[in-house]
Structure 1
Amino acid sequence: MRTQRVVCCISFFVISVAFVFFGGGLFSPQSARASDLSGGIGLGATRMIYREGDTSATLKVLNTGATTWLTQVRVTDVTGNDSRAFAAFPPLFRLEGGSENSVRVRLTGAPGDYPKQTEGVWYVHVLSIPPGRQPAAAKGGVSVSIENVIKLFWRPDGMPEPGKAVFRDVLFTRAPGGVRACNPGRYYLSFNHLRVDGHSVDLNAAPSMLAPGKCEDYKVKGERVTWSMINDSGGDSGEFSADVSG
């Protein structure tokens, strides 16, 4: 899942709107409007996988528009703090119209910063600002910045690319007021869609990701669940179904 925020500064007021894109090309009317506002800034992937033993992971930042953007890239942990485990290089660059730049994410932490038995997750933030435009806000004008956010998964040795058996291995049980989904495996699982008795769960409002060995509750009641996951390439895993137990 990739989040794109379009931030407009009008005088001293800041308005922030977040749009969520799902891997596999599924998107809402809201995401289409985000594309209109994006100024041509995009990323070459909807997620990154950093495998143990790799020297770096690469992300392309693309500018298909005519505007030149000053672009900052940083990596945060799940709490939103700058990560000590990973860093992006270059962290700041100028992106001309009709061009692209490759950003390398590298390890910067100690061995204990990376899980050995399960995947880990961080977030890559790509913030783009039109250079020389920001003073307009102080004069009552409008300035725009765009932030794309994608997940960065750390994958230890011995964990191959997940397949259908991994995506299928979700346990659904009854919970107070709804359904509980549990992930007994070692991978982070991100829902592409989730339906209970044919009713779609809003994954913008409800948890869209199951951490290894963890559960999430969904406030929707039913007997039969269908779902699909986002795979390594950002595509759809194919659909699975199961009865709610308990």
Structure 2
Amino acid sequence: MKQLITAVMTSFLLFSATASAGIVMGGTRIIYQQGKREAAISVTNMDTHIPYLVQSWVENISADDKRPVPFVVTPPLFRLDPEQENVLRISYTGAALPADRESVFWLSVKNISPTQKDDTNKLQINVKSKFKVFWRPKGLTGEAKDAWRQITFTRHGNQLVAQNPTPYHVSFYTLSMGGTAIPEPGMIAPLATKTWGITGSGPVTWRAINDSGGITDTAQQ
């Protein structure tokens, strides 16, 4: 493996140019249905002149979680020439995961561009992006597309409390109370609660991000 990485990097360092367009991913999230052999996402180099070295791996959603990740990415490291596309394939290794709810992980993708001609002995790290990978077991109750509507909210003092009764993750796009937006509302896990500090009052409105990365309509409670 070390010889392969060395060979790829040596070939990659033969090129030098100025970075411009860069790497574009074929989605913002990956849904891995249990029973499927793999999940995939495309990677495209939109630049017309610059090759990139692309490295990818799956990691736990929490940096404090040191358990082995039950997924591997193929290819883990490759060179992507200008205006070319490749596909990252994520495979499940079979380690135990909860069967009654989704699990979520990060797909990390790092793209590395060549340095300038006067500094060809170094690599320049351009971008490390993260994309959510949702492991969706068979036989979950309800439909993922409806989960965002089933979130309920209560107020306890200066806190807004959301409850997710579904086995699916819900990623908020917007969340507000009494017309005041809650910054970066984040995601609520399956069968869990989530709280935010608030100062105002009034109806709660929210929108979520669906499986395709699109935005739902607005719901209000």
Q: 1:99 corresponds to which letter in structure 2?
A: Q
**RMSD, aligned CA:** 2.5
Alpha-carbon distance, 1:178 to partner: 2.7
Cα deviation, 1:193-245, whole Å, max 9, x if unaligned, reads 11111111111xxx410001211111123221000111111101211000xxx
2:109 pairs with one of 126, 130, 135: 126
Where in structure 2 are the equivalents of 1:52-201 lying within 5 Å?
Answer: 52-65=34-47, 66-80=49-63, 83-110=68-95, 112=96, 114-131=97-114, 136=119, 143-159=124-140, 161-164=143-146, 166-201=147-182
CA distance in 1, matches of 2:20, 2:211: 25
Gaps of 5+ in 1: 1-36
Gaps of 5+ in 2: 1-18
With structure 1 as the length reference, what TM-score do the two structures score?
A: 0.73
Alpha-carbon distance, 1:137 to partner: 10
Alpha-carbon distance, 1:64 to partner: 0.5
Matched position secondary structure for 2:148? helix
| 2:27 is the counterpart of 1:45 | yes
Alpha-carbon distance, 1:132 to partner: 5.8
The corresponding residue for 1:239 is: 218
Matched position secondary structure for 1:163? helix
CA distance in 1, matches of 2:180, 2:171: 18
Where in structure 2 are the equivalents of 1:9-48 lying within 5 Å?
Answer: 39-48=21-30
Q: Which has the higher contact order (CA 8 A, sep 6+)?
A: 1
CA distance in 1, matches of 2:161, 2:100: 24
Alpha-carbon distance, 1:119 to partner: 0.4
The corresponding residue for 1:227 is: 206
Cα deviation, 1:105-133, whole Å, max 9, x if unaligned, reads 001142x2x22000000010010011466
Shift in alpha-carbon separation, 1:38–1:59, aligned structure 2, 3 A: farther
| 2:207 is the counterpart of 1:218 | no
Cα deviation, 1:85-107, whole Å, max 9, x if unaligned, reads 10100000001111111010001
Does 194-203 or 51-60 show the bigger shift?
194-203
CA distance in 2, matches of 1:38, 1:239: 37
Q: Could you tell me whether the CA contact under 8 Å between 2:102 and 2:190 is conserved in 1?
A: yes
Matched position secondary structure for 1:101? strand
Q: Could you tell me whether the CA contact under 8 Å between 2:115 and 2:124 is conserved in 1?
A: no
Shift in alpha-carbon separation, 1:119–1:209, aligned structure 2, 3 A: same
CA distance in 2, matches of 1:101, 1:234: 21
Shift in alpha-carbon separation, 1:83–1:95, aligned structure 2, 3 A: farther
Matched position secondary structure for 1:168? helix
**When the two structures are aligned, how many residues end up with a matched partner?**
198
With structure 2 as the length reference, what TM-score do the two structures score?
A: 0.81
Q: Could you tell me whether the CA contact under 8 Å between 2:163 and 2:193 is conserved in 1?
A: yes
The structure whose Rg is larger is: 2
Q: 2:139 corresponds to which letter in structure 1?
A: G
